[in-house]
Structure 1
Amino acid sequence: MARRTVRTAADHVPDSTDVAELRAAAKTCQGCDLYRDATQTVFGAGDPHARVMLVGEQPGDVEDRRGEPFVGPAGGVLERALADADIDRRHTYVTNAVKHFKFTPAERGKRRLHKTPGQTEIVACRPWLVAELAAVRPLVLVCLGATAAKAVLGPEFRVSRQRGQVLPAPGALAEAEDRERSAAGSSAGAGPAVVATIHPSAVLRARDRDDMYAGLVDDLRVVARELA
């Protein structure tokens, strides 16, 4: 029986460590079927040489329309939490594990409803995440929510069990960053440290918003200590 070929974005990713070149190439990515319904690709944004890179799940309704990550309600929560954790957002790079908005169509005039990306879509989009990591070369990689954590740390990872812990970057992600550090004349280490926490949108959905928000800030303070 012939083995099924897994479709990914790999053929669309240029051999480049320039974030602007990667962003331009991602505009025409058809590595999975999400591009068919999304308004546009929403690539990462921020400091291309940031010491901390934050990875969310996917763009939301506002991000899909504007073409920028974390500019909707969840982005407002993230910006406030970063400030409370003494991390300057201007010196961060923010992106998503999946670059197209997956949604359930809404009634006329209403906001489209977010739909969680499947493992096939996470795997398909992972080459972009690997390329971004190799380009930015952060010291710390922050996974915001379960989808981002599974994209980086594997499908068995559970944020509820290991949130706020400093973990080593796995396999391909560590190797990608180390190759670029060596090419740039920097000493290779073991890739970035990885810290997983909740997605800022979880704060907006929670009944106990204050407690959820405080937990997010506490996890980001772990990141701040790694950057010190």
Structure 2
Amino acid sequence: MTRKTPDRQAPTRQPPDDDAPATLDACRRCALWEHATQPVPGAGPVDAPIMLVGEQPGDQEDRAGLPFVGAAGRMLDRALDEAGIERAHVYLTNAVKHFKWEPRGKRRLHKTPAQREVAACHYWLERELQAVQPRVVVALGATALRAVLQDNDATLERTRAPVRTEDGRLVVATYHPSYVLRTRGADSREHAYRTLVDALRTASRLARERRHGGGRPTHGDAG
């Protein structure tokens, strides 16, 4: 069964206040909702073995209300295909659910969310993690990694191997597909792309191992 989690409209038992909003549409935990078209919830099977977490929706995602539908999404689709993973079998979401942007002429350009905005939106990410219970979480980029690990000092450079969080989640960190797109030089871009594909393959292998109870996953920390 495939559905969005958390549901933007479905009622919950959470109290209806700013600290524990019942739906994404009602969320006022930070101010990003004021300038976004709409919140962008995660999408994918509620029992997906792999969850991919990006930074935030982009311009096209903000308009469509779906994650990873723009250029970065197409790059991710290509990498997933090469890694042997069907997009329909993974859960896609972002650490921040509203598009943060700044105007540049008629364009809306991405602006990196502040730590307080990422922290405010962890309420929703944690609900998704609890609902899906993925075997492996892939953090796409540094913002996603810090959100998943709840460690503002975490870096991709220091998280080269899969790590296990204190609550037992297995995390694989790699580049965000938008980073691959921005990388200058054919050789450097190809290296970044290969790094992304290799991380997705690692996540797929670890998910299979955890399913069958074999192959102990790598332990480590982000420090």
TM-score (norm 2): 0.81
The offset of 1:19, in angstroms, is: 4.9
Match of 1:160 among 154, 157, 160: 157
Give the distance between the partners of 2:49 and 2:118, measured in 1 at CA. Answer: 24
The sequence identity of aligned pairs, in percent, is: 52
Indicate the residue corresponding to 2:73 in structure 1: 75
Note the residue ranges of structure 2 that are not aligned, 5 or more in a row.
Answer: 10-22, 209-223
Contact 1:82/1:217 (8 A) holds in 2: yes
Q: CA deviation at 1:61?
A: 0.5
Q: Does 1:23 align with 2:8?
A: yes
Aligned CA distance change for structure 1 residues 103 and 21 (closer, same or farther; 3 Å): closer
Structure 1 residue 169 displacement after superposition: 2.3
Q: 1:21 to 1:151 in 2, by over 3 A?
A: closer
Which residue does 2:128 correspond to in 1?
132
For residue 22 of structure 1, report the CA deviation from its aligned partner. 3.4
SS of corresponding position for 1:99? coil
Change beyond 3 A, Cα 1:141–1:20: closer
Answering whether residue 199 of structure 2 is matched by residue 219 of structure 1, we say: yes
Q: What are structure 1's unaligned runs of at least 5 residues?
A: 1-17, 175-189
* Counterpart in the other structure of 2:173: 196
What's 1:118 paired with? 114
| Structure holding more helix per residue | 1
**C-alpha deviations, 1:151-182, integer Å up to 9, x for none?**
1111011112213x221124xxx3xxxxxxxx
Q: Answer yes or no: is 1:147 the counterpart of 2:143.
A: yes
Count of residue correspondences: 189
Runs of 4+ residues over 6 Å off in structure 1:
none
The alignment yields a C-alpha RMSD, in angstroms, of: 1.4
Q: Relative CO higher for 1 or 2, CA cutoff 8 Å, sep ≥ 6?
A: 1
TM-score with structure 1 setting the length: 0.79
- Given the superposition, is the C-alpha separation of residues 217 and 21 from structure 1 closer, same or farther in structure 2, using an over 3 Å criterion? closer
- 1:132 maps to a residue whose letter is E
The 8 Å contact of residues 35 and 100 in structure 1, kept in 2 or not, is answered as yes
SS at match of 1:162: coil
Q: Is the 8 A contact 1:19 1:136 kept in 2?
A: no
